[in-house]
Amino acid sequence: MTPSLLFTLSLSTTFVSSVALSSFLIARARAAPGAKQLAAFVVIVGLFALGLVLPERFGMASMALAPLGSAMAVDFAIRLTGQGAGALPIVHALGAGATLLLLLFGPGVFFETSDGSRGFRYEGAGLFGVAVAIGLAAYGNGLMAFALRRAEGKRRREIAIVLVSSLVGLSTVVSFAPPLFGMAVAPWSILALPIYPALLVYGILRYELMAANVWARRAAAYALILLLAAAVAGLLAAAPLSFVAPSMDFASLWLVVATAMALAFAFGEPIRRAADRLVYAGPEISAEMIAQWRGDLAGADTTAEAIEIARTHLCGAMRPSVDVTLCSEGPEPALRCADDGGKWVATLAGFEDSPPGARRLAIVYADVLMQSLDDIDRRRRRAESERLAELGMLASTIAHDLRNPLNIVNMAAAAAPAETRAEIIEQTRRMNRLVAELLDYAKPWKLEPADIDFTAAFGDVETRIAGDAHLCADPFRFAQAMDNLIANARAAGGRVAIFVETAQDETLIHVCDDGPGVPEEIKDRLFQPFVSRSSEGTGLGLAIVAKIMAAHGGSVSLGAREGFSTCVTLRFPA
């Protein structure tokens, strides 16, 4: 292999790997602090390397980028360490100004060595550009060295890998120094420049330097493993072939064979499976594993317990760890669970770049977890039904035991003074209402849905009804729910308003008031029996509303709306 071919191969490899790494950073980690600056610096490194093999006009422009590259590197170092932010304007001004000066007046001249290699000597304005580039590089490395002394743990390793890669990068350009003193020496040290982007890739993969998608990081690792396998296989194959094909030197033969191996491996299923096992290490799905999952989840009594067990399972079965959550947003990759109208559904988040094996395991586990969550809900509903049956028997006994004494009290009050009689009648009326509501809450209901006339349903309350709003519900139970909510809102005092809206696959009714609001201590259990925000309430009104909504397959919740302190939202499925 001739020196010129070796230079061309090394510098072209640097450019291609730099562009690939930069694209990876922009596509997968552009939101991370410093990602754009690092991507710009890596591209400039590739262009600088390519300048030695480009035609002179374009090569000059590439050589002029050295100060700008150093400025981008310092910008990244400042964002990585959190130090020296005040110097950023000066850093950018020096880098951009020096590069512009070199572009206008020329950075130097190209020359050819005795062995036919191409070199470059900075002179004139180029010397100023070199001084700026060296000064900025020293400042950036000084920031990282200072931060390294104070950092600990993973943070220390992150800064260390960037500092080491920076020093390696600087060592690859030391052979540009002799030409400054009149020695026509080719920049041999730049042949090691491809190591620099590789070190940065290693830092991103090993220490998660950028908040890239975890599967994308492993996809980059897969590519590195594939290239390494191709290089080793090419080396093993080229040795015996060099005796068969003496017309080709060993290095050229190795390059051809390694390229062929890389193409073969890229489309070869055996090597892909082997790399998957190495990069995505983890157990295969087995019947015993699924049985253990089901057994562990069967011991959960609540949704929160099942979610915690699921986190433990997936943490042990997959790398990287997959979060299990009831939230619609958060860290990825994650298994996000939601109750969709009485049936649990799961969504895989952050699995766009995951391998088939990891996705398959997540899908299988999601199915097992959804069955477990549905079973927990069935057990809870069965327990609730049994509790209501017991409550119904208790209510019947209370009604029987209280109504006769209440009637006697009312008759005995006939001879009492008017004020006393009125108070007795009011209190016995409240007790009768409590018994009636308790009986109604405890007994099973049969719904008879029909179209609801919104204009007649809310009485004289201020209303805003969407033009396309439509609702099919049991008229009696709907009126009962609205009466309870309107009475509660009016008891709170102030303005009362009802808003009817339509959303995807549901109708929403908001009953709002601008009273004092719901006390914090009862917000979480507002719709449970015997909880009331009014001292005059029975504590069953909102519990009955919740039961009415559950019977319709909907839900009730406490919400907020501008201009009101309290809003109760009813969600009816379409």
What is the average pLDDT across 325-336?
Answer: 83
Residue whose entry in the numeric block shows the structure tokens 């019977």: 551
CA distance 238 to 254: 5
Nearest to 169 by CA among 105, 34, 84, 73: 73
Paired tokens of 422: 């009125």
Residues 6 or more apart in contact with residue 435 via CB below 8 angstroms: 395, 398, 399, 402, 403
pLDDT digits (tens, 9 = 90+) for 514-562: 888 888 888 877 887 767 656 555 667 888 888 888 888 888 888 888 8
What CATH number has the domain spanning 3-211? 1.20.1070.10
Q: How confident is the model at residue 158 (pLDDT cuts 50, 70, 90)?
A: confident
CA distance 425 to 414: 10
What residues are paired with 465 via a beta bridge?
A: 500
CA distance 572 to 256: 68
DSSP class of 325 = E
Task: Please tell me the least confidently modeled range out of 239-253, 273-287, 434-448.
Answer: 239-253
pLDDT at 503 over 90: no
Residues 6 or more apart in contact with residue 286 via CB below 8 angstroms: none
Residue 26 CB: number of other CB atoms within 10 A? 15
pLDDT digits (tens, 9 = 90+) for 176-212: 888 888 788 777 777 777 777 667 666 655 545 555 5
The pLDDT value recorded for residue 75 is: 92
What is the average pLDDT across 120-146?
Answer: 92
DSSP class of 492 = H
Q: Does the N-terminal peptide bond of residue 107 adopt cis geometry, omega within 30 degrees of 0?
A: no
Paired tokens of 231: 């290089």
Q: pTM, whole model, 2 decimals? A: 0.46
Q: For the CA atoms of 148, 153, 159, 163, what is the dihedral angle to 10 degrees?
A: 70
| CA quadruple 567, 568, 573, 574: dihedral sign | negative
pLDDT at 213 over 60: no
Paired tokens of 543: 């519990």
Do the Cβ atoms of 209 and 30 come closer than 8 Å? no
What CATH number has the domain spanning 450-573? 3.30.565.10
Q: How confident is the model at residue 65 (pLDDT cuts 50, 70, 90)?
A: very high
Annotate 271-287 with DSSP letters as a single string: HHHHHHHHHT--PPP-H
Using alpha carbons, list the distances in angstroms from residue 524 to 234, 301, 518, 521, 531: 67, 20, 10, 7, 10
The pLDDT value recorded for residue 129 is: 92
Rg of the chain over all Cα atoms, to the nearest angstrom:
37
The pLDDT value recorded for residue 316 is: 81
- Longest Cα separation, the chain: 130
The pLDDT value recorded for residue 511 is: 93
Written as one letter, the residue type at 439 is L
DSSP class of 521 = G
The pLDDT value recorded for residue 1 is: 46
